[in-house]
Amino acid sequence: MRITLKRPISLEGEIILPGDKSISHRAAILNSLANGDPAHISNFCEGDDKTSIIRCLRGIGVKITQHIGCEFSKESECLLIHSSEFHEPKNILDAGNSGTTMRLMAGLLAAQPFFSIISGDLSLRSRPMNRVITPLIQMGAKVIGRESNSLAPLSINGGNIKGINYTMPVASAQVKSAIILASLYAEGKTIITEPSQSRDHTERMASFMGADIQVHKSSIIITPSQLKTSNINIPGDISSASTWIIAACCHPNARLKIKNVGLNPSRTGSIDILKRMGANLIIENNRIENGEPVGDIIAESSNLVGTEISGDIIPKMIDEIPNIAVAACFSKGKTYIKDAAELRFKESDRIESMFQGLSSLGAKITHEVDGLTITGTSKLNGGYCNSYGDHRIAMAMGVAGILSNSETTIGSSEAVEISYPNFWETLKSIQR
């Protein structure tokens, strides 16, 4: 499917985001293995990732139902997650396009005393899995993948695992979370050391639900423990919020309010970078919900300046870099994005995807193995670009389209269905 966009006179309105997919996955998995009454999860993430995690959990015996109008979710739909005794799946578990589902489920399955196979679509089967397989094997699980244990499908003979002392070669929240999930069942403590901080939703939520997890600087210490179920309201996805923030900052006549956004410090690298670039941002209604910081963000037209983005801040904004690349096109001076080679192993090669997309719209951009260099010209010309089937690229190019001087057509625009099915409708609603 293709969609054609043109620049509106102004952007204004309030936006309610889909639930954060990282937090949604953890809420479903942790409540599945916890003890207690069924847990109500409201504002669960939308799209294919939601389908993937629910399908995989149901495949090992978790009862998950949907309903509307309970005391917790009010008028909204919520998921009811029942604490369950897991059983061996009768079929191959299908993670779809969701790397989060596959890696977190791998950690959970490694701890279970049965055999399972987990796979996904063509894109997911080409994404690296060796970094999650290696520590799970060290813990005692038997995990086998294609191409010397580097690619899915993964076959897992789990159970009888032991705690380990593991130093992660690369910061990765998904790998860290897989180890934490396995560690809850292990014999003895597990110590994980990160080279730099990655998002810490698993530590926060598991601790909130009663897990014995201690964090000391770059190390996480997990003692096997039993969790209690908890009702959770999922905050809006900061990665999706960054799309609207950058649309407002780069448009000359814009003011947008994005409500109920997750503001976990391990995820707000894009906010820090945009403030450094001179963005007009206000954060209000700050609060803590279920151990996670949440607030509302107001973004307005801004005069941005280029900057260098590298080092420890990259893991805190890895999914927002396509949006930041669009912002760099409308900034004064050069923006250097470095140390982001991880982008080449997402739903698409996002370095190449953004280089091709922005180049086709007239951006002054070059690409390296680990990043991009963009010279801001305060304009894009419009034209044709493609999402390459990647939801983050589709949304970033959508913003580029409404900022361009002439019409922009985006191929494979349906990719937004993966995480934000109403994206194009929301984009239309804020245009004046």
- Asked whether 282 and 249 are in contact (CB, 8 A), the reply is no
Q: Are 405 and 8 in contact (CB under 8 A)?
A: no
> Which residue out of 319, 339, 349, 370 is catalytically annotated?
319
C-beta separation of 249 from 304 below 8 A: yes
DSSP 316: G
**What residue spans of 1-126 are helical by DSSP H?**
21-33, 48-59, 99-110
Q: What is the Cα–Cα distance from 287 to 268, expressed in whole angstroms? A: 15
CA distance 320 to 268: 10
Tokens at 385, concatenated: 């670009």
Bridge-based pairing state of the strands 232-233 and 2-5: unpaired
- The DSSP letter of residue 317 is S
How far is CA 158 from each of CA 135, 140, 143, 297, 409, rounded to the nearest angstrom?
13, 8, 8, 44, 48
State the chain's maximal CA–CA distance in angstroms. 62
What is the three-class DSSP state of 84?
coil
Q: How far lies 37's CA from each of 59, 146, 229, 354, in Å?
A: 21, 40, 7, 46
Contact 339, 295 (CB under 8 A): no
Give CA–CA dist 187/366, Å, rounded: 50
Q: Distance between CA atoms of 301 and 8, rounded to whole angstroms?
A: 14
370 assigned to active site = no
Is the separation of the CB atoms in 172 and 220 below 8 Å?
no
Catalytic residues: 319
